[in-house]
Amino acid sequence: MDMLERIGLEHPVVQAGMGGGVAGGELAGAVSAAGALGTVGMMAPQPYAAALQRAHQLAPGRPVAANLLVPFIRRAHIDASIAGGAALVVFHVGFPTRWIGALREARIPVFATVGTAAQARRALDDGADGLVVQGVEAGGHLVGVEPLAVALARVLDVADGAPLFAAGGVAGAEDVRRLRDQGATAAVAGTRFLLTDESQAHPDYKQRVLDAERTLQTMLFGVGWPLLHRVVPNAATDRWCARSDLGPGWVRAVGRLSGPLGRALPLGALGTMISLQRPAVPLFSPAVPLVGMPGNAVDRSALYAGDTIHRIHDIVPATEAVALLAR
């Protein structure tokens, strides 16, 4: 039995677990109800648990996955994943072996996001049941360092038959077919599901993605989580990334020093952090603008998106997004 059959997927399509509240219960539930794998993204433990419950209410009997950002995991996230019936848990940016026992005991498969063959070997040696192979084309926080086709081929050589989900540059059904032909078990789409009715991204965030002419890899939004990330431009990047997309060197240094602060800060405080940020002051957290925030939040927070912006031109219901990817 392969992984798709094990978790009960109708289509080899996975919705990326966009964190910070973007991928909540409404989005994950709609995707899973349509036969793909909806994924609840990382947020504070209580709303995270509620989102898993809501997703299952919208997609009874269908699998729902969870995506956890390793630096910010609390025991409550693991407990909520188990109690909420997650069909799969993906760890992003690291693989915390101390949480594996509880998930394994609950018979929940565990995947790790990787960008290189070395990362893949380490994750599998540490007990990962499968891998999400991320290409550099992906939006959000990057572990990918090469184009997805290259990374996928390298990881396939060391995966020893482990299931591989491929992430980065997935906009339509032709991408899913191509990646399946290249050996992926399923394809992961982020920006396509960001631009859906059910996504909790701020409406102006979605419009900026639709209007953007380019993406940039930067470390500007790295206070508390100093990791390379792909975004579309806004007032903050226009001001601070003119000389280098990565941002000023001293800003990157501050981000590196702030890593312990991010691990200690409650995830529920991210909205407050956005309210304190200003384009003129280059101290930006990884938080994203959500529905209900002021419109000017989109110019002082990260607008994550992948390079598929050039091939996605509309906001659609999640059910239609699944159909576009699966047909």
Determine how β-strand 64-69 pairs with β-strand 88-92: parallel
User: pLDDT tens, 28-72?
Assistant: 999 999 999 999 999 999 999 999 999 999 999 999 999 999 989
Q: Is pLDDT of 86 > 90? A: yes
Helix (H) or strand (E) holding 235: helix 235-240
Distance CA 157, CA 121 (A): 10
Could you tell me which of 130, 122, 141 has the C-alpha nearest to residue 103? 130
- Please give the backbone phi and psi of residue 105, each rounded to the nearest 5 degrees, phi first: -60, -30
Determine how β-strand 13-15 pairs with β-strand 186-189: parallel
User: pLDDT tens, 184-235?
Assistant: 999 999 999 999 999 999 999 999 999 999 999 999 999 988 899 999 999 9
Q: How confident is the model at residue 115 (pLDDT cuts 50, 70, 90)?
A: very high
Q: What is the DSSP letter of 142?
A: -
Report percent pLDDT > 90 for the chain: 84
How far is the CA of 109 from the CAs of 66, 87, 140, 231, in angstroms? 11, 7, 24, 30
What's the confidence (pLDDT) of residue 101?
85
| CATH architecture, domain 3-199+311-326 | Alpha-Beta Barrel (3.20)
CB 275 within 8 A of CB 281: no
User: pLDDT tens, 169-185?
Assistant: 999 999 999 999 999 99
CB 316 within 8 A of CB 7: no
Give Cβ neighbours of residue 146 (< 8 Å, ≥ 6 apart). Answer: 115, 116, 135, 136, 154
Distance CA 84, CA 26 (A): 15
* Average pLDDT for 82-87: 97
Domain boundaries, the chain: 3-199+311-326, 216-304
Q: Is pLDDT of 311 > 90? A: yes
